[in-house]
Amino acid sequence: MSLRHAMLGLLYASPMSGYELVRYFQRLLETIWFAQSSQIYPELRKMEEAGLIAATVAPRGQHATKRIYSLTEEGLATFERWANEVAPYPPERDPVRLKALYAHVASFAAARDQFQAHIVHYQSRLQVWHERVKQIRARTAPITALTLERRPPEEHAAIVAFKAHAVDGLIARAKAEIAWARRGLRLVDELEATRLAGADGAAPDTTPARPRTHADRRDGRGNRPSASRLVDRRRPRAVQ
């Protein structure tokens, strides 16, 4: 449950209201840990019940109020414990790679669009992360600045260096992704060129860029296979 730890991390920097947490998630953290208000407010209440944070009610204008949350001793201890543990690695689930695995089912144009979108996506991320790392090193990033305020000077170098390094990791990943997508674009070009070159005597097609699909195997009703082919299929055994 890392949403909780991301929230503890913000409250470690400074006490704040739920709304401020929401804004930090929207503006700062969204490229590291995304969360919406509909998740944050209920989680705040759960954390309060669990004794990790405590709220004080502060006035807002003449009639309204807001709740300011801060870490309790237990919340701080929980956060420190989490920071000292090795993070478990979540199981792999990579939608882009899954699709790339089946790029041959798409048209060359669609494959190109996918790689192009990949580049656009990570280039925009790259901009945000570059900006962020600059702010961290300049110590103007809001959360970094708040943290430095309440930590002794001899820790400042480490705080800045670790935070910058975290974002550097995202930058490195983004660059690797962009390079991969560029190689993908070149691959599509090559494959399309060979396909067109090799298609001399082949039957002409109105959409020559699109590989043929299962539609060519049109044997009887849909694609129900004959029973004999099915009964003793133990292919997974051969795996590895």
Binding positions for DNA, rule: CB under 7 A: 1-3, 17-20, 22-23, 34-39, 41-42, 44-45, 60-64, 66-67, 90-91, 93, 234, 237
Comparing CA positions, the residue from 14, 9, 70, 53 lying closest to residue 35 is: 9
**The tokens of 222 are what?**
């849909």
d(CA 237, CA 190): 35
Task: Choose the one of DNA, its own copies, none that binds residue 44, judging by a C-beta under 5 to 8 angstroms depending on kind.
Answer: DNA
Task: Identify what 189 binds: DNA, its own copies, none; CB under 5 to 8 Å per kind.
Answer: none
Nearer to its own copies by C-beta: 44 or 111? 111
> Within 13 A of 90's CA, how many CA atoms are on the CB side?
5
Go through the chain and tell me how many residues it has.
240
Distance in Å, CB of 220 to its own copies, minimum: 12
Binding at 45: pick from its own copies, DNA, none (beta carbon under 5-8 Å per type): DNA
Tell me which DSSP letter residue 50 carries.
T
Distances (CA, A) of 103 to 107, 180, 183: 8, 14, 14
Residues contacting residue 44 through CB under 8 Å, at least 6 positions apart: 7, 18, 21, 53, 69
* Range 111-140, binding its own copies (CB under 8 A): 111, 113-114, 117, 121, 125
Instruction: Pick the binder of its own copies from 150, 197, 203, 207 (CB under 8 A).
Output: 150
- 238 makes contact with its own copies (CB under 8 A): yes
Interaction of residue 202 with its own copies, rule CB under 8 A: yes
Q: Which is nearer to DNA, 157 or 231 (CB)?
A: 231
